[in-house]
Structure formats: structure tokens, C-alpha cells
Copies of this chain bind each other. A is one copy, B any other.
Amino acid sequence: MPALSDRIHMLDSETKAVETPEDHAEELRLWLRLLTCTTLIEGEVRGRLRQRFDVTLPRFDLMAQLDKAPDGMTLSDVSKRMMVSNGNVTGLVERLVESGHLDRRTSETDRRVQVIRLTKLGRAEFRRMAAEHETWIADLFADLTPKDVRELMRLLAKTKASAQKSAASRRP
């Protein structure tokens, strides 16, 4: 059993936690800055993709996923990788199949599963866009030194892990 002074201390710190809410303004500012950076870059890339290739960002992102998977992916895989809802992918894929960029077929071993892959056209167009896209990104980050890039990578990895942990603890 704790000494009286310890119990008083515990009570104090508990009371403090309840009555004087901690200041999290720094984290809030960090979050807003993170969001600003992403929105800024995303908007720029979106605009360039439209102007230069008349393609939307979500389409480009989906093709990017498939380019890394020559044997195709299931819709669920894509949905998890892109961190978007299932229904979202259904619609995106529909339009890309329609335009001839994607090939969609039902798996032979599991008839629930749809496997999608890039068509020859889809792959060619994606490669063309991706090459230019990479230079845009390089340009947008041009003022960062290699050290800045490394450090940001490290801190964002830590951020991602922290956020995933926090998110997971709410959804067990």
C-alpha cells in the first residue's frame, strides 16, 4: 500500500489530468502543417495530370498500384493499398476497364474474387505518365537536402507507426 504522500500525489495528478486538460496545441499545429503539405502537393499533381495527360489522380494512383503487380491484384488488395473504400474501387475500375486501361476477370479458384491488371495500353500510358510525374515530385521537393529527405522519411515512419497504433487500439 502506498504511503500517504504517494496517494496524495496520485490524487493530485489524476485531478490535474481531469480538471486541467493538457495542452496539445503543438501536435495540432503539426497535423495542420502535415495536411497543408499534402494538400498542396496533391493539388499540384492533380492539376498537372489533368493538363498534361487528361487523367485524374485516383486513376493514376490505381494504375500505379497495378504497375507494381504484373500478375494483377484483387479489388480488396487495391482497396487496402490505396486506403479507400471498396465501393470506391469498384467504380474506378469500371471506368478504367471501359477506357481500355484495365483488364478484369473473375478468379477461377474463388468466384467471389475479381482480378484486375493493366492492359498493354494501360501499362504504356502509365509508364509515360509516371516518368514525368517523378520529375514533378522531384521538383516539388527540390529545396530539401538529401539529409532532409532521410530525416523526414524517418520521422514520417515514426508518425505512421504511432498513428497506426493509436487507430488500432480503438478498433480491436
Binding site for B on A (CB under 8 A): 21-22, 24-31, 33-44, 48, 83, 131, 134-135, 137-144, 146, 148-149, 151-153, 155-167, 170
Pair A38/B35 contact, Cβ less than 8 Å:
yes
* List of B residues within 8 angstroms of A39 by Cβ: 83
- 3 nearest A-B pairs in the assembled complex, by CB-CB distance: A143-B162, A24-B138, A38-B38
* List of B residues within 8 angstroms of A151 by Cβ: 151, 155
Pair A141/B40 contact, Cβ less than 8 Å:
no
Pair B140/A163 contact, Cβ less than 8 Å:
yes
Closest-CB distance, A19 to chain B (whole angstroms): 14
Pair B142/A162 contact, Cβ less than 8 Å:
yes
Contact partner, A144, options B48, B137, B158, Cβ 8 Å: B158
Pair A134/B167 contact, Cβ less than 8 Å:
no
* List of B residues within 8 angstroms of A33 by Cβ: 153, 156-157, 160
Copies per complex of this chain: 2
Pair B40/A163 contact, Cβ less than 8 Å:
yes
Closest-CB distance, A121 to chain B (whole angstroms): 23
Pair B140/A30 contact, Cβ less than 8 Å:
no
Residue in chain B with minimal CB distance to A38: B38
Pair B37/A141 contact, Cβ less than 8 Å:
no
* List of B residues within 8 angstroms of A139 by Cβ: 166
Pair A140/B162 contact, Cβ less than 8 Å:
yes
Contact partner, A40, options B24, B146, B157, B167, Cβ 8 Å: B167
Complex Cα spacing A42 to B84, Å: 12
Query: A29-B153, A151-B151 are contacts. A163–B24 as well, Cβ < 8 Å?
Result: no
Contact partner, A141, options B43, B140, B163, Cβ 8 Å: B163
